[in-house]
Amino acid sequence: MKILIAGSGGREHAIAWKLSASPKVSKIYIAPGNGGTALEAKCKNLAIQADDVQALFKFAIEKDIDFTVVGPEVPLALGIVDFFEANGLKIFGPCQIAAQMEASKAFAKDVMTAAGVPTAKYKQFTRAAEAKHYINEQGVPIVVKADGLAAGKGVTVAHTMEEALHAVDDILVKKIFGMASSKVVIEQCLTGQELSYLVMTDGKTVIPLSSAQDHKAAYDGDKGPNTGGMGAYSPAPVLTDAQYAKVTDIVIRPVLKELARRGIDYKGILYAGLMVSETGEINVIEFNCRFGDPETQVMLPKMSSDLCEHFLAVIEDRLEGEKVTWHDGAVATVVLASGGYPAEYKTGLPITGIEEAEKDDVKVFHAGTTLKIIKPMQLEDTGDQDITELAEFAEDTDIDYPEQLVSAGGRVLNVTATGENLRSALDKIYKAIAKIHFDDMHYRKDIGHRAL
C-alpha cells in the first residue's frame, strides 16, 4: 500500500515510523515531512505543505495513494476530508464540521453541555466590554480562550484581573490570533492534573488508546510559559484503571451521540484533554480532532498492533471487532527545544549525536529539523537549499551530495524510550540526550515527576 501523510512534526514522524513497520505498507509520502522522516525506511518527503489541500489531492491522484492520514488540525478544519471523500479518495480524519470540536472552543463547549459531559462553567462573548464585565463578576483565577485555532497559543490561565482583561483585549480588540479572535470563551479555572485521553472511532465503535500525560510548561517544576509540550509519558497513572474504563462512557460516547443527533458523523481520533482533581473528579478541558503532540510519540511505540490495519478499519467503517494491543511497561519522551522557545529562537543549527543516542530501546523522533545539502564549491553561488527542493535534481544527476541535519523549529527533537517502568524509560532518555548536541539546546530534566 502507498500512504500519504500530511504534516511535518514529531507526531507525523511517529506515525510514519509506525506505519512503515506494517507489512501492508510499501511506500509512505510525507508532506512536507522533516529531517527524520526523510531518513525512515519506505518514506519520502514532498515539497507540499500540509494545508495545501489541492496539491495534496493532485499528488494522491497521480501516485494512486491508497489512503491519506492527516496529522495537524488545520487541514481538517479546512475540509480536506470532505474534499478527498467527495472525489473518491480514502482519508483518515474527521470531516470539516466534526473538526469544529477543535476548531471552535465555543462549539465544543455547546456540544459538551448538550451531551451532559462534565466540563468547566463557561460563557462566550464577541464584545470585549461584556467579556470584561463577566470576568469582574466571576473573579480570578479564570481561563480566557480564543475561540478558533491559534496554534496552541490562544489560552490564558489568568491569576490576576490584569492578566484576564489583557487577554480579552488581545483576542477581541487587537485580534492577535486573526480569524481565531472572532469570539472569546471565558471558563471557570479547574485544578488538578491534566491528562490526554484519545480514542479511535468510526462513528459507531470506540476503541480507547493508551492514556498519556504531557508537560506544557517550558521549565522544570512546571514553571514558565506554556509550550506545545516539553515531554510526555504513557500510561498516565493519575487515571486509575476504573476511571480509565469509565471515561469513554461519561465523555466520549455522549459527545458522539450528540454529534450524531446534529447529523455529524465523527470518524478518526477524538482526543479529550481531561482535568483530574485531587478527589478524582474528571472534567473535560477541551477536545482535539487528531493525534496529540508529543502524546503520539509515546502512544505509538507502546502499540504492538498494526496501525495501518486500524486506520483502514476506521476509514472503511469496520472498527467493530478490531483489536488494538499494547506492549507492557512504559514509554516516555523528552523534547529537545531551541533556546528561547516558545518565544524567539534560532534555526539552522547543526545537530549531531542522534545515531549514537538511538541505542538501548531509544528512538529519536524529529519535530523541527530539516536536511541541508552540502554542495561542492562550484555550486555554492546558488546557496543551500532544503533537501526536498533538490530531490528531483539529485535524482536526475545521480549525485549523492552529503547532507547536514539542522534545526528548523522551536521543538526540535523528541528523545523517546521504552522501559519496564517509567523510571527505566526516563533513565535511558537522559543518557541518550547527553550524546546529542545543537547550540543552545534546552530541555526539561523533570519529565515524569508527577508520576514518579
Q: What is the pLDDT of residue 396?
A: 55
Average pLDDT, the chain: 93
378 pLDDT more than 50: no
Q: How far apart are alpha carbons 88 and 328 in whole angstroms?
A: 39
Residue 112 maps to a domain:
no
pLDDT, tens digit, for every residue of 126-185?
A: 999 999 999 999 999 999 999 999 877 788 999 999 999 999 999 999 999 998 889 999
The residue ranking higher by pLDDT, 391 or 112, is 112
Say yes or no: 424 and 341 in one domain. Answer: yes
| Residue 402, pLDDT score | 75
Domain boundary among 119, 148, 182: 182
Domain that holds residue 151: 127-182
Percent of the chain with pLDDT over 90: 85
Domain-embedded: residue 105:
no
Is position 449 within any domain? no
Q: Which of 45, 52, 90 lies closest to 74 in space, CA to CA?
A: 52
What's the pLDDT at 338? Answer: 97
What's the pTM value of the predicted model, to 2 decimals?
0.92
| Confidence band for 58, pLDDT divided at 50, 70 and 90 | very high
Q: Let me know whether 290 and 352 are in one domain.
A: no
Question: pLDDT value at position 357?
Answer: 97
* CATH classification of the domain holding 11: 3.40.50.20
With contact defined as beta carbons under 8 Å apart, do 154 and 164 qualify? no
Q: In this structure, are 59 and 160 located in the same domain?
A: no
> Do both 198 and 303 map to the same domain?
yes
From 9-23, 278-292, 386-400, the region with the lowest mean pLDDT: 386-400
Span 241-281, pLDDT tens digits: 888 889 999 999 999 999 999 999 999 999 999 999 988 89
Do 392 and 373 fall into the same domain? yes
Is there a single domain that holds both residue 307 and residue 203?
Answer: yes
Task: DSSP letter for 442, please.
Answer: E
- Residue 104 is assigned to a structural domain of this protein: no
Q: Answer whether residue 425 shows pLDDT above 60.
A: yes
- Beta strands 362-366; 231-234: pairing state: unpaired
Pairing of strands 213-214, 193-201: unpaired
Both 309 and 422 in a single domain?
Answer: no
Q: Flag the least confident range among 114-118, 154-158, 361-365.
A: 154-158
CATH code, domain with 371: 3.90.600.10
DSSP 365-434: EESSEEEEE---GGGGGG---BGGGGHHHHHHHT----EEEEE-SSEEEEEEEEESSHHHHHHHHHHHHT
Whether residue 384 sits in one domain with residue 342 = yes
Whether residue 215 sits in one domain with residue 268: yes
Q: What is the pLDDT of residue 432?
A: 98
The owner of cell 498519556 is: 212
Domain CATH number, residue 238: 3.30.470.20
Whether 421 maps to a domain, the answer reads yes
| CA-based R_g, the chain, Å | 22
| CATH number of the domain that residue 176 is part of | 3.30.1490.20
Q: Which residue has the higher pLDDT, 183 or 396?
A: 183
pLDDT at 1 over 90: yes
Kindly state whether residues 159 and 209 are assigned to the same domain. no
| pLDDT over 70 percentage in the chain | 94
Pairing of strands 155-158, 206-208: unpaired
Contact by Cβ (8 Å): 115, 311: no
Residues 193-220: pLDDT tens digits? 999 999 999 999 999 999 999 999 999 9
Question: What would the mean pLDDT of 406-415 be, rounded to a whole number?
Answer: 97
Binning pLDDT at 50, 70 and 90, where does residue 387 land?
Answer: low
Region 297-319: mean pLDDT is 98
Residue-level pLDDT at 151: 77
* Joined grid coordinates for residue 230: 516539553
The answer to whether position 106 is within a domain reads no
Q: Does 116 map to a domain? A: no
- The last residue of one of the domains, among 280, 315, 350, is 315
Q: What is the pLDDT of residue 242?
A: 86
Helix (H), strand (E), coil (C) string for 258-294: HHHHCCCCCCEEEEEEEEECCCCCEEEEEEECCCCCC
Is residue 134 domain-shared with residue 171, that is, in the same domain? yes
**Is residue 122 in some structural domain?**
no
Same domain? For 299 and 412 the reply is: no
DSSP state of 220: G
In the chain, the number of structural domains is 4
Q: Which residues of 206-244 are buried (b: 16+ CB within 10 A; e: fewer)?
A: bbbbbbbbbbbebeeeeeeebbbbbbbbbbbebbeeebb
Q: How confident is the model at residue 442 (pLDDT cuts 50, 70, 90)?
A: very high
